[in-house]
Amino acid sequence: MITVYCGEDPVAARAAYIKAIAAYTDQQLEIISLPSSSILDIKKGLADNLSLFSSQKVFCIENLEKYSFKKSTKATKNEVYEALVSIAADRSIILLDFEDAKQARELKLKDLATVHESKPATSIFKLMDECVPTNKVQFIKSLRAVCDTQDEMFVFIMLMRHVRQLVLAAHDALSSKLPPWQKGKVLAQAKRWDKKLLTHFYSSLIKIEINAKTSADHYGIRKSLEILACHYL
């Protein structure tokens, strides 16, 4: 059987993945970490060579979907996909896969696996909606609440992606692939900003990202966002 851990909240998804491994470890099952390129080895006998002290093996893989495979057709059989079909149907094999920052609907494995999807807390979306001028107090209040339960860098990344969408909307450059309801929402929020101020706000977010990656951030992510909010909101 195959279980995939994924979602827009990669921190929570990885935590669930690690928790599952720990649970199987407590059951004294043998844990084997493999690169995605070794998936075929599971069906070539690796799963049958059980150790003396365990009756079942647990195979742990990360980002299996980056390994090149396509769903088999009547005309063309894909060796990797066929191996995964076999593993999914075999209750004696446990395969755990962590997919970094991938949603369930994007998975090629979704029809073969049990999927545990970790979604961001609703309050993160509330925080994004509150990112508008004259709303400084409420934005900072929500920011502190979200950062109490979510990884600060994850919150920052989500916010930065959203502000980038606002900038694109302000310059009539939104992707045509964006769902109509989402496009309308982003456009409405972008209109509440002065275009120049919004662009400067996004540039400041980029500076925070650079400082965080180069260890030049003296305040931390949350404090830096609060200072930014005081200046721009």
Cβ–Cβ < 8 Å for 127, 155: yes
CA-closest candidate to residue 193, choices 123, 132, 113: 132
Residue 59 has pLDDT above 60, yes or no: yes
pLDDT at 128: 94
CATH number of the domain at 68, please.
3.40.50.300
Amino acid present at 136: K
Q: 26: domain range? A: 2-117
Rg (CA), the chain: 22
* Sheet order of strands, 114-117 included: 30-33, 57-62, 93-98, 2-6, 114-117
- The domain total for the chain is 2
pLDDT over threshold 80, residue 120: no
| 130 and 195 assigned to the same domain | yes
Q: Which helix (H) or strand (E) holds 117?
A: strand 114-117
Question: pLDDT category, 197, cuts 50, 70, 90?
Answer: very high
Say yes or no: 61 and 147 in one domain.
no
pLDDT at 49: 56
Question: What mean pLDDT is reported for the chain?
Answer: 87
CATH of the domain at 152: 1.20.272.10
Question: Looking at 88, 117, 146, which one is the last position of a domain?
Answer: 117
User: Where a domain ends, among 82, 97, 117?
Assistant: 117
Contacts of 95 (CB under 8 A, 6+ apart): 1, 2, 3, 42, 58, 59, 61, 87
Give mean pLDDT, residues 194-208: 95
The answer on 129 and 106 residing in a single domain is no
Between 52 and 117, name the one with better pLDDT: 117
What is this structure's pTM?
A: 0.60
